[in-house]
Structure 1
Amino acid sequence: MIVSWEWLGQYVALEMPLEDLTTRLTMSGLNLEGTDTVDSDTAIDLEVTSNRPDCLGHLGVAREVSVLYDLPLKSPDPQPPRITPQVSEVASVEITCPELCPRYTARLIRGVTVGPSPDWLVRRLATLGIVSINNIVDITNYVLMETGQPLHAFDFDKLADGRIVVRQATAGEQLEAINHTTYKLAPGMCVIADAEKPVALAGVMGGVETEITETTTTVLVETAEFSPLSIRNTARSLSLFSDSSFRFERGIDPHGLDNTSRRCCELILELAGGELLDGVVWTGEPPSAEPTTVPIRFAQVPRVLGIDVPPAEVIAILEQLGLSQVAGSDDTTATFAVPGWRRDLSREIDLIEEVARIWGYDRIPEDNRVPLTLSQPTHRDLVSGTLRDLLCAAGFHEAMTLSFITPELFGLFRPEPDRDPLSVEHSSRRQENLLRQSLVPSLLQSRRENERHGTFGVDLFEIANVYLEAHPGAEGSEPTRVTAVTGRSFGELKGVCEAVVTHLAPHAKLAAEPQDLPGFVEGRGARLLLDGTA
């Protein structure tokens, strides 16, 4: 994320030296990649981690600066003037794939004059490496870099029937994007269409047919929320990446759609003239009015960080970050409502991390003793440890194998014939792309590899998960299995199993009965029964 020093100063007073600011930002999690002088401005290149899409706009970075330096934040409050008629009387929006586009908003401005952007706007975009196109397109780019919310402007007169349809592409459809490259669309890709054809790749790039030109007089302003996975798949399938797709892939704040739309319209009216029709076409589910709430225990802060942070400071830091304290808090615990732009905050430890980075990691002494609390091993850990000890004492060696196997091996050892295998859609392992339902194939491969390197007769065991498809209406399961491969006789192996049962369930009765098993020579298989249950 490239940030303009001059632009950042519009939202927060930058009275500190540049070096001090970049150091504080780095210490708080926005690592400095470098700085560059562009005319009279300074471009600051910050590394923004994928869980902080709120910092992919100048307002988000300004919010961080305001908290770090305890300065007031000046956010725009757009209130563009409107005229009749209602926009819903002129334009319509339909969503046929709500799983790919939960919500979509549209506003309409008539009578705009498309032309060059003013110098201040051209300079600000140039600092970020963005080339000026025209005032309308530049405004959409400006608002994107201000708020972090992508948006798009259509030439409304070129939309067939004045309709917007958010749908999936169909086989054989093509779109010439604004980069003048024609793309073949695959079924399942989310597109913005009019009444006849696709006019934009949703969340990725607009199309040439409806782009803003000098002849445009009516503009439809789009803000929307798209599925991050859908945008990621489309961008990668077409090798087409943009500032918009980069942000949609990481998730946007659905509560900010309307504000972003109003901000864009306000600037268009200011720089391109025109009249904004009253109202907004809002299609899809409104964002949840119930915010995520997360409790924090004040005593847990020093227990985790090893330093004392007064509860009043904890509350002040979290409130400055945009969280709001809810009812039910007391002297030992507080509960906070998380704003829509901070989806990464869902647990108490997340709030403690926020306190630590704003309070200052540099204020944590290097040699400070952090109190540790010993935890008791779980029942599963105790049983697994006993199994390892018993099998190792019996001459077996523990193996750790990959969870992926080939379709051929899966077909040979299929203990759950009524469940289809789970596969990885985009796996770098083209052959071994199925998740195993049995540990036998993996252990046999390990035994074969040992023999290939001259180690024969090795007895192996593994304690690991297998992966089963969910039955209709049920959750998938990952049960833990214990499996061994050996060249010993059946009697010897049965003796090992009896020793295991004696230690783990001394009152249980172990029995064996013949059974033909997939992957085994006919007549050489058996199943073990513990108190009559397989």
Structure 2
Amino acid sequence: MNISYNWLRELVAIELTPGELRERLTMAGLEVEALHEAGDDFVLEMAVLSNRADLLSHLGVAREASVMTGGAVRLSLEEPKRIAGKTEDLTSVDVQAPDLCPRFTARVVRGVKIGPSPAWLAERLQAVGQRSINNVADITNYVMLELGQPLHAFDLDKLTEQRIVVRRARAGERVQTLDEVERELHPEMLVIADGVRPVAVAGVMGGAETEISETTTSVLIECAYFAPVSIRRTSRALELRTEASDRFERGVDYEGQLRAQTRTVALICELAGGAATEDAIDVYPNRSSPPVIELRFSRVGELTGVDVAPREALRILGALGVQPSGREQNGKESAGNAAEVKDITNSASVNFVSPSWRTDIRIEEDLIEEVARHAGYDKIEAMLPPSSGAGEYRANEDRRRAARRTLTAGGFDEAFNFSFIDAAAHDEGFELLPTLTQQAGENDARFVTLDNPIIEGAARMRATLLPGLLASVRHNFNHGTRDVCLFEMGRVFAANTEPGRLPVEREAFALVATGGALEQGTAAASRESDFYDLKGALDAAADAMKLSALEFKAESVKHLREGQAASVLLGGQPVGFIGRLADAIAAAYKFRQPVYVAEVDLSALFE
């Protein structure tokens, strides 16, 4: 959006230089991409966010500038010369698609003389990148750039039956737009038609058959609010993007149609002669109600770190057109008197009414953003985040560390594996063991299953540490390492049998050993690891954790080799298992040498 510096100064008193204004606007969150001279003027090239349709106008930028300068926005709303008679006597409006056109206004100017625009108007349009066409067309473009409201001028005498029908297009209908391209219309598109045919693609571009020409003497000015989604879809379907569609897509001021209509008609009467009808046809069956939003002044500092006094917050919002509830006056800004301001600023919170041109202001945080960005994000003091308190070790962390030191000194390496595993790992004989002592049967409902796993296939939370450790052993084998001693401490999970309860989560401790065993005082393996090497490591870890002596009871364990398996007991209660991996499971992992495993319920050991 190109903004004229001189044009802005007509709308609000600005003492800032163009460069200073650019800097201030940018610091307030409005990105000014470039600033360049245009004759005796300066033009600011602004990048406008999709939710700030109000900034596609000089009036919208003037409101932002008024916050910085403290001056009030000045806008000419003079009524045009009139003739006896009403618009209804010359034309009619029938809105057949109110869902796509909530508001439509029309007014007629008769006796106009089409010709070139005065120099000041043509130069102003040229400065912001617009080509001068004729006085009436230039005025509609001028008002669009000034107020942000697109309008269109029809030659009234070229409208069949001199009436307007706003409806959806009919199958097979076509229209030749002002760019002299004939376009096929679809039933979901909104058109402006006369008594017979479409004469404009609503909100996108007018039609060539009813355009203003040198012979035009009666002009119908339409000014409407069209549903943004409808205009966006039509524009994309026709591959036709215009200044008008860009504004309607974002959402124009839904209460600004009569203001733009009056401004346009007054300029036409002044610059093209003629006189206007007494009033406009205004089809607005379902009036929109602006949202009322409570602002707690204390929340500004809490959310942003910017300390803003209530009086200053009220000033900023007022300059932007956001008024306390009860003080808005038909969409116009109202400053209020000193007594009212004092009363409001002494309140802890105030209800504000979002202006019709700011459809992006809907909740309290939106108001806070407006206050904070104009108060200045640069005023936020640098500070460290508050501490949540001193850290501390988990219970029994000293025991875990002692076990780690002991196992590491004995030649073991600690492994860290994911808590989620491939479902196939359990299917190879590792059914769910809720307490590591009771086999629960192969029932998927007993597993904790992830709805949205971050790794494809890894949809189960581990019920035992062994799948991860065995995968680590296989990884070492595949890379040429045959002597592997690993241990891991971590959480295991089981689905709760009681409906609605959280999963059971316990801490486990597992070891795995395979390949050569290191004898004390030697640097190389002199024999193969066996059951008793792993049992000794488990005993040493238990002793380091200051636990009572573990007991071992020979018995069958499903995933361990028969005759080389035992249950681990503490105080006579089973807490785990130890033994050689069953041949079927070893074959599934493609192990070609004995692998010994042990796993105990660490939570039970610490109880």
**Pair in the same fold by TM > 0.5:** yes
Local SS of the residue matching 1:68: helix
The farther-off stretch of 126-135 and 12-21 is: 12-21
Residues 443-490 of structure 1 show CA distances to partners (whole Å, capped at 9, x for unaligned) of 8x975xxxxxxxxxx54259xxxxxxxxxxxxxxxxxxxxxxxxxxxx
1:499 pairs, out of 467, 492, 495, with 495
The match for 1:359 among 375, 390, 397 is 375
Decide whether the 8 Å contact of 2:421 with 2:460 is kept in 1: no
Q: Distance in 1 between matches of 2:17 and 2:271?
A: 33
Please say if residues 14 and 69 of structure 2, whose CA atoms lie closer than 8 Å, have aligned partners that are also in contact: no
After TM superposition, give the deviation of residue 90 of structure 1 in Å.
1.3
SS of the residue 2:209 aligns to: coil
- Which residue is 1:229 aligned to? 229
Please give the residue correspondences for 1:42-441 in structure 2 after superposition, counting only pairs within 5 Å. 42-285=42-285, 287-288=287-288, 290-326=289-325, 331-365=347-381, 367-369=382-384, 395=421
Q: 1:371 to 1:12 in 2, by over 3 A?
A: farther
List per-residue Cα deviations over 1:360-413 (Å, max 9, x = no partner).
112222x13567999xxxxxxxxxxxxxxxxx767458xxxxxxxxxxxxxxxx
Cα separation, 1, equivalents of 2:422 and 2:28:
50
Q: CA distance change for structure 1 residues 9 and 196 in 2, over 3 Å: closer, same or farther?
A: same
Q: CA deviation at 1:14?
A: 2.6
For 1:126 and 1:64, the matched residues in 2 are separated by 24
Q: Is the partner of 1:84 in helix, strand or coil?
A: coil
CA distance in 2, matches of 1:133, 1:213: 10
Question: Shift of residue 501 of structure 1?
Answer: 2.9
Q: Aligned-pair distance for 1:76?
A: 1.5
Question: Residue 263 of structure 2: SS of its match in structure 1?
Answer: helix
**Contact between 1:254 and 1:287, CA under 8 Å: does it hold in 2?**
no
Take 1:506 and 1:154, find their aligned partners in 2: how far apart are those partners? 68
1:5 maps to what in 2?
5
Q: Distance in 2 between matches of 1:506 and 1:119?
A: 77
Hey, what's the Cα distance between the residues in 2 that align with 1:396 and 1:348? Answer: 46
- How far apart, in 2, do the equivalents of 1:228 and 1:506 lie? 46
8 Å contact 1:100–1:230 — kept in the other structure? yes
Shift of 1:31: 0.6
Letter of the structure 1 residue corresponding to residue 208 of structure 2: V
- What SS does the corresponding residue of 2:214 show, helix, strand or coil? coil
SS at match of 1:192: strand
Distance 1:143 1:312, change over 3 A: same
- In structure 2, distance between residues paired with 1:232 and 1:176: 20
Q: 1:152, 1:373 → 2: CA distance?
A: 61
Unaligned runs of 5+ in 2: 327-342, 390-417, 424-449, 462-491, 504-607
| Pairwise CA distance, 1:230 | 0.6
| 5+ long unaligned stretches in structure 1 | 375-391, 398-438, 448-457, 463-495, 508-534
7-16 or 223-232, which deviates more:
7-16
* DSSP-derived class of the 1:254 partner: coil
Residues 370 and 108 (structure 1 numbering): CA distance in 2 closer, same or farther, change over 3 Å? farther
Query: TM-score, normalising length from structure 2?
Result: 0.63
- What letter matches 1:501 in structure 2? T
Amino acid paired to 2:296: R
> Contact 1:154–1:211 (CA<8 Å) still a contact in 2?
yes
Instruction: From the superposition, tell whether residues 219 and 446 of structure 1 become closer, same or farther in structure 2 (CA, over 3 Å).
Output: same
The alignment's C-alpha RMSD in Å is 2.8
Quote the Cα distance in structure 2 between the aligned partners of 1:266 and 1:503: 73
1:490 match:
none
Work out the CA distance in 1 between the residues paired with 2:306 and 2:169.
55
| Greater RCO, 1 or 2 (C-alpha within 8 Å, sep 6+) | 1
2:459 paired residue number: 460
What is the distance in 1 between the residues matched to 2:458 and 2:271?
Answer: 77
User: 1:118 & 1:459 partners in 2: Cα distance?
Assistant: 73
1: CA distance between counterparts of 2:188 and 2:24? 44
CA separation of 1:136 and 1:460: change in aligned 2, threshold 3 A: same
Alpha-carbon distance in 2 for matches of 1:340, 1:373: 43
Could you list the per-position Cα deviations for residues 66-114 of structure 1 after superposition, in whole angstroms to 9, with x for gaps in the alignment? 1122122211123112221111111000011111111100000111000
| Distance in 2, Cα, partners of 1:396 & 1:124 | 68
Distance 1:497 1:192 in 2: 65
CA distance in structure 2 between the aligned counterparts of 1:281 and 1:251, rounded to whole angstroms: 22
Q: Give the letter for the 2:383 counterpart.
A: N
* Structure 1 residues 506 and 86: CA distance shift in structure 2, 3 A: closer
59-68 or 213-222: which moved more? 59-68
1:23 aligns with 2:23: yes
Distance in structure 1 (CA, Å) of the matches to 2:6 and 2:76: 16
* Counterpart AA for 1:500: N
Q: Which moved more, 1:242-251 or 1:43-52?
A: 43-52
Q: Could you tell me whether the CA contact under 8 Å between 1:88 and 1:279 is conserved in 2?
A: no
Task: Pick closer, same or farther for the CA change 1:368–1:210 going to 2, 3 Å.
Answer: same
SS of 2:496's equivalent in the other structure is helix
3-state SS of 2:84 partner: strand
Match of 1:523 in 2: none
Alpha-carbon distance change, 394 to 349 in structure 1, aligned in 2, over 3 angstroms? closer
Q: Is the 8 A contact 1:95 1:284 kept in 2?
A: no
Distance 1:266 1:506 in 2: 71
Deviation at 1:299, TM superposition (A): 1.4
- Structure-2 change in CA distance of 1:258 and 1:369 (3 Å): farther
Give the Cα separation in 2 of the matches to 1:372 and 1:51.
Answer: 37
**CA distance in structure 1 between the partners assigned to 2:183 and 2:169 by the alignment:** 12
After superposition, the Cα gap between the structure-2 partners of 1:311 and 1:446, relative to the gap in structure 1 and judged at 3 Å, is closer
Q: Secondary structure at the match of 2:24?
A: helix
Q: What's the counterpart of residue 471 of structure 1? A: none
Q: Secondary structure of the equivalent of 1:10?
A: helix
Contact 1:303/1:370 (<8 A) preserved: no
Indicate how the Cα distance of structure 1 residues 161 and 66 shifts in structure 2: closer, same or farther if over 3 A, else same. same
Rounded Cα–Cα distance in structure 1 between residues aligned with 2:126 and 2:139: 13
